Chain A
């Protein structure tokens, strides 16, 4: 290749010039494409690279009882999170994770966790992991790039199962709930109430997460470099903490009543009839809400949901039972208010009444002789109420029942309340059960037949009697009382009922609740589980078919401060167990007496557990 005499020289140099220019043009146009035409796209990608949105978690509100005792609080916990948006192989990550952290998760379990999560790319693999894992995961970042340990706030219920049906529990937000609650936060740790007050007051308790944009390097570690002034890095929104709430519950009363049930199952609710404040909410057996605070294990869930005693059932509002004899005062009241009965109306009870070719028995085979409304309530005479019910008729029972809130939800601030059944001709026909027969009215008149109530409905009825017709919404959350309805009831009818109910306690079936110095008005009742023939000693029956025992009422007789209902499932006749439980509650509320203690004499207690208690004593003792 000689420049002077080689003819191939010049073409070769020209070709090299062409090659060099071609390479330049190729690269320059590639740069033009990437940087000028698609530059903003790649800029966004680079910003996504170095920014990570960090959720600033808002603590859920704390729940306390009426005296400020904490029923539910938050604690710090560490969780293992899988971030599938990060580069890496899931299989390899899981294998390394099992090896490094000593776990034994299968791919199926990991996939299940991913499916459960409300955030598509994030899955919570384990909660409450040892804090030491924070460092372990950091150290092995090269292998565990898809994993990180996050701090979260977990619910803790210091009283365990006590009051679990009122307080409820929380769980991780599901995808469906995220939709209905309109939560669009990219946080897999959002917990929402799944039952009880936690669910009912979820909007108050929850607060709102904040977020912050952090600058991270390729290893995902947060870096602060003053030389890199990047747009959009910093706090975007401060978290809004959830509101702390107070309940009307009194934890001590709750404890007394719960332990009074012993091994029995059932429900007990105490309420201030003048405000609707619920002082105690017992549903036994109960469950430990702390179990749910962890993602509940399938084993625990199975144990709870398959327990034949149904611990998850919130009995005061989810159990509908025949009202039994506790319904009788209602029938007497309707009869007197409608002018079909007077306090002097007397029926003769020979022990049974024949109606429509059918013999209806009284529980007292020998009969009660002549009974008027007062003695009928006192002795719970069936024959009197058969005849009274026949006079009143099902339509009046249905109309007045509706006024007292029977057959409808009480509106208590808890989820999943049942309405019970207030039957009528219309009700029966609407269900394709045919026309109403007058004989069926007789069953309803003694609280059997189609009529069913939840314990809370029955309490609401007795509470309304206590206030002389004012029906308040039962409330667990503290707040302004809400009057649901005002039933116009005459004072004379009320006096008859009160006198009858007091006599039940002083000399009738409720004597176990006869407290010296306190005028208790209450009625026992028996809800038939199966129709056992009268006269059979129920104590000899197998427990599962024994009748449910009711005890419902209020105290003191004048200016009542407390209304209550006790249901002991399969408790036989209502007198004993229910009355005893109610007595413990009332003694605590009115005299500050705790079970096993002697009543404090003159000055009952230095620190009354309940403000209402002091006022109850002052006003009600006389």
Chain B
């Protein structure tokens, strides 16, 4: 399980490293632009610290052999569950939900770290299973592992973050021995079931603001002052960037507060406005390359636990990308999920860095016996 430094450099995942650092650096610059000369100005500087911290975590995730990470999977999972329970008791309420836990002056969101812990715990659960053995029973067990923190997150209540456990559940199913066709069929049925449940939920548990968001997505003219206003302003921000953008710090939608939450949920709006089509497609290309690299690692990884970790990283990052950019571009409803590596926020950044670091780790150690 050991690998020499020479081997590490030779087989290391320089592509993932480069793409990760590029996105991280670009994101930091954009967050600074989104908070420059506003009351959030200090957040821009804080994001630099978070980015450095995230890079260190990335290095940690890369350098400690992923098998060791997986070995500690259950322990980390238990810690994550404990934190999620704790946050329900002691958590500070921000924007209507208890998702922040404070250790002295440092606050973090246990739900973000729980995603990584879930992936590691699941990897641990399957690592000793014989080949082609992952069947319904095992999938159900993995889903149990995933469901527990998801439910706890849902109770905060943070519906958006709770849904980010869905890609992990998808990854678990995808990893089973069942062929693609059948999985897609099940997925289709699941979507139908969700729609039914949604119809039911409409009349029971959905909050007015959640209904509003959905209605606004269906018809942007609905309540133009509230959610529709955000959608419209985000679209103006994106479109007005034109081909090459208005320039860093010069996005009027961003700088003059028309764009909602520009440093977090709508950071891609700032990218689109200030760097234009060139910059935003460049960011998307970087994501595409990163995801393609994950898939390539999937092919070369030496064991099931490694492949599972990579698949989890792929699923989580793709899910965030889809939901976040889809929202900014007005293709999906407003859900308030951040964009990996670009959005402001320490916990999320570190969690995403862990996934990226573990993926690079798997690739680097693909030949280790």
Interface residue ranges, A against B (CB under 8 Å): 1-3, 5-8, 11-13, 15-17, 19-21, 23-24, 26-28, 30-32, 34-36, 38-43, 45-47, 49-50, 87-89, 215-219, 223, 225, 227-230
Contact = CB atoms under 8 A, between A and B. Distances in A.
Interface stretch (B101-109, B152-160, B283-291): B283-291
B14 to A, nearest CB: 20
B190 interface: no
Interface string B100-129: 000000000000000000000000000000
Contacts of A2: 131-132, 304
B180 A12 contact: yes
A35 B131 contact: no
B235 interface: yes
Contacts of A47: 252
Interface in B314-338: 314, 318, 321-322, 325-326, 329, 331
A23 B250 contact: no
B281 A28 contact: yes
Given A8-B180, A41-B239, A43-B239, A50 B256 contact: yes
A21 B243 CA distance: 22
Contacts of A20: 288, 291-292, 295, 318
A17 B225 CA distance: 40
B180 A15 contact: yes
- Which has the most chain B C-beta neighbours within 10 Å: A2, A46, A215, A225? A46
Contacts of B277: 31-32, 35-36, 39
Contacts of B37: 225, 227
B280 interface: yes
- Which has the most chain A C-beta neighbours within 10 Å: B174, B176, B301? B174
Given A8-B180, A36-B242, A49-B252, A87 B225 contact: yes
Given A31-B272, A89-B225, A227-B250, A8 B178 contact: yes
Given A39-B240, A47-B252, 9 more contacts: A1-B134, A8-B178, A13-B295, A13-B298, A16-B295, A40-B242, A43-B240, A50-B252, A227-B250
B238 interface: yes
Contacts of B307: 1, 3
B235 A34 contact: yes
Contacts of A42: 235-236, 238-240, 242
Closest 6 CB pairs of A and B: A42-B239, A39-B242, A46-B240, A218-B257, A217-B256, A35-B277
A23 B253 contact: no
Given A3-B299, A89-B225, A230-B252, A49 B322 contact: no
Contacts of B314: 16
A5 B132 CA distance: 8
A40 to B, nearest CB: 7
Given A1-B176, A41-B239, A35 B298 contact: no
B346 interface: no
Given A2-B132, A43-B239, A31 B329 contact: yes
Interface string B162-184: 00000000000011111110010
Contact of B177 (A6, A21, A34, A230): A6
B239 A28 contact: no
Contacts of A35: 238-239, 241-243, 272, 276-277, 280
A216 B255 CA distance: 11
Interface string B186-210: 0000000000000000000000000
A216 B258 CA distance: 10
A11 B258 CA distance: 45
A142 to B, nearest CB: 11
A19 B318 contact: yes
B229 A8 contact: no
A227 B318 CA distance: 36
Nearest to B239: A42
Contacts of A50: 252, 256, 258
10 contacts: A21-B288, A26-B331, A31-B277, A35-B242, A42-B240, A46-B236, A49-B233, A49-B253, A227-B37, A228-B255
Contacts of A21: 288
A542 B239 CA distance: 82
Nearest to A12: B180
Interface string B1-35: 00000000000000000000000000000000000
Contacts of B241: 35, 39
- Which has the most chain A C-beta neighbours within 10 Å: B134, B249, B252? B252
A30 B331 contact: yes
Contacts of A218: 233, 256-258
Nearest to B232: A45
Contact of A46 (B176, B179, B183, B252): B252
B364 interface: no
Contacts, number: 155
A229 B246 CA distance: 10
A432 to B, nearest CB: 63
Interface string B330-357: 0100000000000000000000000000
Interface in B211-250: 224-225, 229, 233, 235-243, 249-250
Contacts of B235: 34, 42
B258 A27 contact: no
Contact of A31 (B174, B175, B224, B238): B238
A250 B258 CA distance: 59
Given A1-B176, A215-B256, A23 B225 contact: no
Interface string B298-311: 11110010010001
Nearest to B248: A227
B225 A34 contact: no
A32 B281 CA distance: 9
B222 to A, nearest CB: 13
Given A26-B331, A31-B281, A45 B298 contact: no
- Which has the most chain B C-beta neighbours within 10 Å: A2, A47, A223? A2
Contact of B229 (A13, A41, A87, A223): A87
Contacts of B242: 35-36, 39-40, 42-43
Contact of A87 (B179, B224, B239, B292): B224
B236 to A, nearest CB: 5
A581 to B, nearest CB: 65
Contacts of A1: 134, 174-177, 304, 307, 311
Contacts of A216: 256
B289 to A, nearest CB: 10
A30 B301 CA distance: 35
B284 A27 contact: yes
B168 to A, nearest CB: 15
B106 to A, nearest CB: 32
Given A6-B131, A31-B280, A42-B236, A225 B257 contact: no
A87 B281 CA distance: 32
Contacts of A215: 256
Nearest to A48: B236
Contacts of B132: 2, 5-6
A416 B180 CA distance: 90
- Which has the most chain A C-beta neighbours within 10 Å: B239, B241, B258? B239
A215 B176 CA distance: 58
A17 B180 contact: no
A7 B132 CA distance: 10
Contacts of B233: 49, 218
Contacts of B295: 13, 16-17, 20
A217 B292 CA distance: 41
A300 B2 CA distance: 97
Contacts of B288: 20-21, 24
A591 B252 CA distance: 73
Contacts of B322: 23
B202 to A, nearest CB: 24
Contacts of B281: 28, 31
A34 B238 contact: yes
A31 B233 CA distance: 15
Contacts of A223: 256
A467 B38 CA distance: 78
